[in-house]
Amino acid sequence: MAGPELAGCARTMIGTPFRFKGRDERTGVDCIGLVVLASAKAGCTLSLPNSYALRQADFADSEELARSAGLVAIAGPPRPGDIVEFEVSATQRHLAIVDTGHLYIHAHAGLGRVVLGPADPVWRQRFIWRIAQTSHPAR
């Protein structure tokens, strides 16, 4: 699956309602749900957890979770379809899918829907992830 394809599939979800731990376009998605559904639409199944808290103190296993889900860490600037993990606060992380330039597709809790726009300037980029070529095709 090519990155632009993932970005295109995520773009079709702009306007989808926000719902914490949501994994359904009709009822809503959160940032992880957006990544899971967009990747499925693009033909790739990612196994990301849905047993998480909105805020938590320990993120020590986030790299291992990403790797086990079929993501690989990327060095350098993000490309369309890459998944960026942002540190929103000391206790909150957020995933966004790169669209083009400095625009991201992400589930925005404050606006209550999936949006396309720049990252908040106070967010700190932690990781850039890309779906591994060996990820499981959707069945």
pLDDT digits (tens, 9 = 90+) for 59-81: 556 666 777 677 888 888 899 99
The pLDDT value recorded for residue 55 is 59
Does residue 43 register a pLDDT over 70?
Answer: yes
Whole-angstrom distance, CA of residue 88 vs CA of residue 115: 16
Better-predicted residue by pLDDT, 89 or 99: 99
Whole-angstrom distance, CA of residue 96 vs CA of residue 32: 9
Mean per-residue pLDDT over the chain, rounded = 84
Note whether 130 and 74 are within 8 A (CB). yes
Whole-angstrom distance, CA of residue 12 vs CA of residue 14: 6
Does residue 98 register a pLDDT over 80?
Answer: yes
Backbone Cα Rg of the chain: 13
CB atoms within 10 A of CB 136: 12
With cut-offs at 50, 70 and 90, classify the pLDDT of residue 89: confident
Whole-angstrom distance, CA of residue 105 vs CA of residue 59: 23
**Angle, in degrees to the nearest 10, between helices 3-11 and 31-41:** 120
Does residue 129 register a pLDDT over 80?
Answer: yes
As a whole number, mean pLDDT of residues 109-136 equals: 86
Non-local CB neighbours of 123 within 8 Å, separated by 6+ positions = 86, 87, 88, 94
Tokens of 104: 């991201």
Which of 31-35, 40-44, 61-65, 71-75 shows the lowest mean pLDDT across its residues? 61-65
- Is 0.85 surpassed by the pTM of this model? yes
The pLDDT value recorded for residue 138 is 44
Note whether 46 and 35 are within 8 A (CB). yes
